[in-house]
Structure 1
């Protein structure tokens, strides 16, 4: 039986489905072991809503999904994985449960039947409302735009049915032949429009089918985590990934309780949004984030600063809108405000009421004005982490200077944040509102409304800060190696807007802005777009997934069409999810279809041919930085080969595991992870990150760093190229050199030994990456 490393070498994320369940995962374990993976990282494993392809809509009772193989299948997977030295990390979802089919969620069904008298009412974050003169009703946002109750009916079991919704009724309130609308009037719930500002349960963001839990309540924590304690006691898992930490009332209290369940040595990773200049709170008893912060750093390091300036001008020409930092900041603030007052109007009321209760002398309208101003001014996802207090107070003062009429209310906001233990409800409501607004307004809507360079519009990224200097890059890596050495580093995940390989290619646009400008002008002439801003975003995505050697096939055309619909509706400029504009969508889909054929397609193929090779080089370079930089690399399913995917569900397509293992990327990952295994002290909690200096006229094309144990000589050096379009093999590389640390350094692939100052052409040859290890030979 092989040992599982206590400090992980690398994780591998698998999206489980009924078609790719525990038994199928067993079938790829040997390949993952050959790759060098130490920990398998599984999507949620609990039973979920019918037809779920992701598991985040799990339902009670807490049992491992029978469709995935149940507890016996999980035990078998654990045994097989352990036999090849691979541990198991599972994705858990403490924030919410699925409620789309109440019959599959006993807790929610009981709440619908008995209202606030239900034994499970305290499990949910409920805020019953008064409607039609009746108090205590739960408002369900299940009605579409303009929809009424004419199609409401009763089934033979006394359930109320409206389209796909099947809702239980309270005892003795429904009989055969009853008027369904009258039956509805007897229930503890009412149906309202999906866009209604009046809601009575907290959702996961704005998704009505996911209801938030009060996991801070001891009985709810036990009901939702007892199964996890069992798995830990049975030694069936090695760690967890916590979904949406910022949605919980008390992140520190929750992770402390979770640590008590799992013990001191199992891994805890949290999905946590961090601003570019924000540090993870070191009071959290965890091993780090899931890696969006490091994704941002890598993305910025490989984005050309001069190209960004030119792309701003092109975006301005296309849309008539500026795309630079100041304008993006103003747009973000406006979008946060509008999103808060429409999508999250109920949460704004809850937050304001909580602050008003804490400071009853201040009128509610002044407090609501202040809460809104504070949330709009924020630049972090969730403001109530203790280390952020000085920043929050500064934000309050900035909001006060911009809106003096809110001064009294802002005093109330400051008061509750200065005494969070005294006013926990107010602090949570304001903080959770801020989290929801940031996720929805910026990531879901904003990232589809602007398009200067969409590779910088990714989870963890900020298009206002698209680049980073090498000095800042190395400093952030030094800090991460020292403070969060076991945090995950990701390039692609199940949630990213685009795969790492697609983003790497799109980022090449910034290295050839003039050629890009010509391409856009030609396509606009050949196929004038009905909505230029939308078309400009779609065109960059087309570039990211375009085939290397030809036009898109029917499958890719269909994938792009589905993506276009989602992107248009998320942007909510010409259409939206609540109110689809069929004509606008059809016009854009017709334009997209035209771009994928004929002269536009030939122009795109020519452009992709220009950047294809450098894009591959940069994808490999980014991969090397993720694999050997500070933290634990997380490999997303299938990305050991080329993966040009868009957002889910496109990036959750089945993976072909019969692809060759002598692939460029597979080989690089194997080599890098083998180095991590040979030098565990260089990369784990004892490891240091050190900059390796590049020199010469083209030194800016090199990123180089060393890894080694603290206070000892480095053991590994990594040299990668960047801005590959103008750093091709040959004379370009003679104009850059690297000062290797003292000693002799052997290339792990070629075996060539180098010392001292070495030119890039000798280090890299025609490769984008060189990995060197110290040798006495």
Structure 2
């Protein structure tokens, strides 16, 4: 049931399953193989993302409910589309307790609740800590509940008598309402990363799995073609979970949101098709950036910011910061599992910091654990004896201590690197992407080819992606940033002017903002100001989510205003934007065609068939104008010009998706194609077994010389699905093949 491709839709109260059903015809015309839906089960009221499921037994009425689901299924079948659903096994949303029946029951009855085993609660640590109180007021008794402003909490049976005050009744409950700031220190349940409103679920328990996956079982019975698994790294036993899920859905196409670090492979033991494609995203991005500019970029960064620290040190600093602050409660829970070992919590946290990858999956990845143990001892020799004492337990997959260290390692990596170091180290932010490697700017064509061959040989049905709801920057923003190394002097001039005129004290962060301006161009300033605020809080230096510095954030907004309003800076920005736009579109079309035709199942994130200037969420979840896209698609009968409309990207997307859907036999192999001549380094080419992709890289450098004298040898009898030209084959001039577009998609003539 592997689809030829997927198209991701964000289902939310403002765009329901009924709306998705109405798009089925457009998606089919686009060439999509399956519609890929964000989480559908009942979520916290008002949730736009759906990852805070509150009741896993029903489809969310706010997202269209059962009626909307049936409408979507019917529309998909009518248009011969598969359906792929995103599911969330790791946690449930508890921000509004009364909306989560299981959590409400646990708060009411404590350990005696029939749902007590659903949640990963440390019952030995006393009442459940709920960090919801602010600086004002306290809980009150209202209508048989404890209330704190809009928050409602149940009372245990028999815990309230007439005349009792709220404080007395509160102290009789199975939970304790605490100030919000105590969550990172005293929480007694596992959470999703550092989010206290998402409580970890024990799907390793077969009964809990069955209860929380009952509706998923129904969806599979309804004919769902595939499942996307959110955050398996949070689970106690990811391998066991995926094996159980495979038994539930033996024929489904299953992919997991596993973020692979450079050089890491998905566990071969997992009975799934592969990952959700961040590794492919990084491969495409790197091959479009010139590695020869690595040293000049580094020199410029150091000159303008004064920062000589390497990315690896930022990684360690970020991971250490979150381990010592955000995850204190997790460290305390670990220490309680080793009460006789001195400084156990500190040593165990050091292991989580030392992991090179998100986590191991014991017994899979035992070598990763051993490396982390050795590295932790090297960094902290005073803890070497403690680490040695704990080593045998940590190597035992059945030991709860081993399980929880692996879970913590993933959380420390995600928060310390993606959500901290990526916003502090700003040498080239186009590489600061989920699954990427900011230490490496560019890559070679040979490395790209080798990666595609590995995917074809090892996980040919894995998902590939360019944009997701979690990417730090949209694909075309990154395509524009890829131009900066080729425009070194012009970029340096703009960056210096921006940094000097804004006077931001943290020049590393100012440099990140300057690159963001280059990546987006002059979009709505409110969006850039919102991004600057979020990025600064994630960096957690001058300001942060729990310690907002209003004056600093005001200075950031002023810096964005200055880019728009200061004549000198705005003129430099406009000039740079004009220089980036053409090459950036060339990169964007190249990236799109590479991702859509390379090994794997390509996903198109909603709306990215046109130019996209999205930044990190929630910016990348803005409503999409599907009416405009459908209208453009209906009018496409030949290659449109590469202009502001984005129709050229839509044309490339449509033709690639249709070819993959209609002629899968042309995509069963992978053979690199090389050019001959002076512009050889500017071509990425490969033959997928009949379908041939040719794409331009490093377009600024190419513009200086052109394709003159550069050729590629091709089979006979080809047709370019983009230009419409017949390609006779043999030694073919690239100047003719790529005269109109920077890409070509060749297939046997019809």
- Please classify the TM superposition score into its range, dividing by the shorter chain length: over 0.9
Which whole-Å CA distance do the structure 1 matches of 2:142 and 2:177 have between them?
21
Map of 1:712 onto structure 2 = none
Which whole-Å CA distance do the structure 2 matches of 1:185 and 1:692 have between them?
72
Map of 1:114 onto structure 2 = 109
Map of 1:240 onto structure 2 = 227
2:684 is equivalent to residue 689 of structure 1? no
Which whole-Å CA distance do the structure 2 matches of 1:82 and 1:269 have between them?
22
Map of 2:409 onto structure 1 = 434
Map of 2:270 onto structure 1 = 284
Alpha-carbon offset, residue 655 of structure 1: 0.6
Which whole-Å CA distance do the structure 2 matches of 1:200 and 1:63 have between them?
28
Q: Which of 516-525 and 163-172 deviates more?
A: 163-172
Map of 1:471 onto structure 2 = 446
Alpha-carbon offset, residue 462 of structure 1: 1.6
Map of 2:489 onto structure 1 = 514
Q: 1:70-121, CA deviations, whole angstroms, 9 ceiling, x for partnerless residues?
A: 2122112101111111011111111001101111011111222222232222
Rate the CA distance shift 1:590–1:716 in 2: closer, same or farther, 3 A: same
Which whole-Å CA distance do the structure 2 matches of 1:176 and 1:61 have between them?
37
Partner of 1:773, secondary structure, is: strand
2:482–2:587 Cα contact (<8 Å) kept: no
Alpha-carbon offset, residue 591 of structure 1: 1.9
Alpha-carbon offset, residue 170 of structure 1: 2.3
Map of 2:551 onto structure 1 = 583
1:616-765 correspondence runs (5 A)? 616-659=585-628, 660-661=632-633, 662=636, 663-683=647-667, 687-708=668-689, 715-728=690-703, 731-740=705-714, 742-748=715-721, 749-765=723-739
1:128–1:139 Cα contact (<8 Å) kept: no
Which whole-Å CA distance do the structure 2 matches of 1:494 and 1:735 have between them?
43
Partner of 1:733, secondary structure, is: coil
Which whole-Å CA distance do the structure 1 matches of 2:705 and 2:447 have between them?
29
Partner of 1:123, secondary structure, is: coil
Which whole-Å CA distance do the structure 2 matches of 1:632 and 1:174 have between them?
58
Which whole-Å CA distance do the structure 1 matches of 2:487 and 2:551 have between them?
35
Determine which of 31, 38, 48 is the counterpart of 1:36: 31
Q: Aligned residue pairs: how many?
A: 731
Determine which of 401, 406, 409 is the counterpart of 2:386: 409
Q: 1:328-349, CA deviations, whole angstroms, 9 ceiling, x for partnerless residues?
A: 1122112212211211122223
Which whole-Å CA distance do the structure 2 matches of 1:400 and 1:735 have between them?
58
Q: 1:648-702, CA deviations, whole angstroms, 9 ceiling, x for partnerless residues?
A: 111111110122224111110111122213431333xxx2211112333322211
Map of 1:378 onto structure 2 = 355
Which whole-Å CA distance do the structure 2 matches of 1:398 and 1:11 have between them?
41
Which whole-Å CA distance do the structure 2 matches of 1:177 and 1:320 have between them?
66
Map of 2:563 onto structure 1 = 595
Which whole-Å CA distance do the structure 2 matches of 1:566 and 1:177 have between them?
47
1:212-251 correspondence runs (5 A)? 212-235=200-223, 237-251=224-238
1:39–1:86 Cα contact (<8 Å) kept: yes
Rate the CA distance shift 1:28–1:580 in 2: closer, same or farther, 3 A: same
Q: Which of 96-105 and 501-510 deviates more?
A: 501-510
Rate the CA distance shift 1:399–1:590 in 2: closer, same or farther, 3 A: same
1:244-643 correspondence runs (5 A)? 244-263=231-250, 265-322=251-308, 327-354=310-337, 356=338, 363-384=340-361, 386-420=363-397, 423-547=398-522, 552=523, 556-599=524-567, 600-643=569-612
Which whole-Å CA distance do the structure 1 matches of 2:216 and 2:497 have between them?
57
Alpha-carbon offset, residue 744 of structure 1: 4.0
Rate the CA distance shift 1:384–1:408 in 2: closer, same or farther, 3 A: farther
Partner of 1:18, secondary structure, is: coil
Rate the CA distance shift 1:689–1:177 in 2: closer, same or farther, 3 A: farther
Partner of 1:121, secondary structure, is: coil
Rate the CA distance shift 1:157–1:720 in 2: closer, same or farther, 3 A: same
Q: 1:403-431, CA deviations, whole angstroms, 9 ceiling, x for partnerless residues?
A: 333333333454245442xx342221110
Map of 1:133 onto structure 2 = none
Alpha-carbon offset, residue 16 of structure 1: 0.8
2:42–2:53 Cα contact (<8 Å) kept: yes
1:175-186 correspondence runs (5 A)? 178-186=164-172
Map of 1:360 onto structure 2 = none
2:740 is equivalent to residue 766 of structure 1? yes
TM-score, length of structure 2 as denominator length:
0.93
Which whole-Å CA distance do the structure 2 matches of 1:464 and 1:412 have between them?
35
Which whole-Å CA distance do the structure 2 matches of 1:384 and 1:266 have between them?
23
Map of 1:210 onto structure 2 = 198
Map of 2:19 onto structure 1 = 24
Alpha-carbon offset, residue 723 of structure 1: 1.0
1:384–1:427 Cα contact (<8 Å) kept: no
Rate the CA distance shift 1:677–1:179 in 2: closer, same or farther, 3 A: same
Rate the CA distance shift 1:151–1:722 in 2: closer, same or farther, 3 A: same
Alpha-carbon offset, residue 458 of structure 1: 0.8
1:353–1:364 Cα contact (<8 Å) kept: no
Superposed CA RMSD in Å reads 2.0
Which whole-Å CA distance do the structure 2 matches of 1:129 and 1:394 have between them?
32
Which whole-Å CA distance do the structure 2 matches of 1:386 and 1:613 have between them?
50
Alpha-carbon offset, residue 583 of structure 1: 1.4
Which whole-Å CA distance do the structure 2 matches of 1:152 and 1:401 have between them?
48
Determine which of 147, 151, 167 is the counterpart of 1:161: 147
Where structure 1 has 5 or more consecutive residues not aligned to the other structure, the ranges are 1-5, 131-135, 358-362, 709-714
Q: Which of 184-193 and 265-274 deviates more?
A: 184-193
Rate the CA distance shift 1:400–1:528 in 2: closer, same or farther, 3 A: closer
Q: 1:617-664, CA deviations, whole angstroms, 9 ceiling, x for partnerless residues?
A: 100000000000010110011111111111111111111012222411
Rate the CA distance shift 1:267–1:157 in 2: closer, same or farther, 3 A: same
Partner of 2:366, secondary structure, is: helix
Alpha-carbon offset, residue 293 of structure 1: 1.0
Q: 1:193-225, CA deviations, whole angstroms, 9 ceiling, x for partnerless residues?
A: 434312101110001111110011112111110
Which whole-Å CA distance do the structure 1 matches of 2:363 and 2:158 have between them?
51
Which whole-Å CA distance do the structure 2 matches of 1:694 and 1:192 have between them?
66
Which whole-Å CA distance do the structure 2 matches of 1:386 and 1:175 have between them?
53
2:11 is equivalent to residue 9 of structure 1? no
2:90 is equivalent to residue 90 of structure 1? no
Alpha-carbon offset, residue 376 of structure 1: 1.9
Which whole-Å CA distance do the structure 1 matches of 2:505 and 2:716 have between them?
62
Q: 1:703-732, CA deviations, whole angstroms, 9 ceiling, x for partnerless residues?
A: 111101xxxxxx11111001112223x842
Partner of 1:256, secondary structure, is: helix
Alpha-carbon offset, residue 754 of structure 1: 4.0
Q: Which of 511-520 and 154-163 deviates more?
A: 154-163
1:505–1:616 Cα contact (<8 Å) kept: yes
Which whole-Å CA distance do the structure 2 matches of 1:89 and 1:212 have between them?
24
Which whole-Å CA distance do the structure 2 matches of 1:491 and 1:298 have between them?
8
Rate the CA distance shift 1:207–1:620 in 2: closer, same or farther, 3 A: same
2:717–2:729 Cα contact (<8 Å) kept: yes
Rate the CA distance shift 1:106–1:44 in 2: closer, same or farther, 3 A: same
TM-score, length of structure 1 as denominator length:
0.90
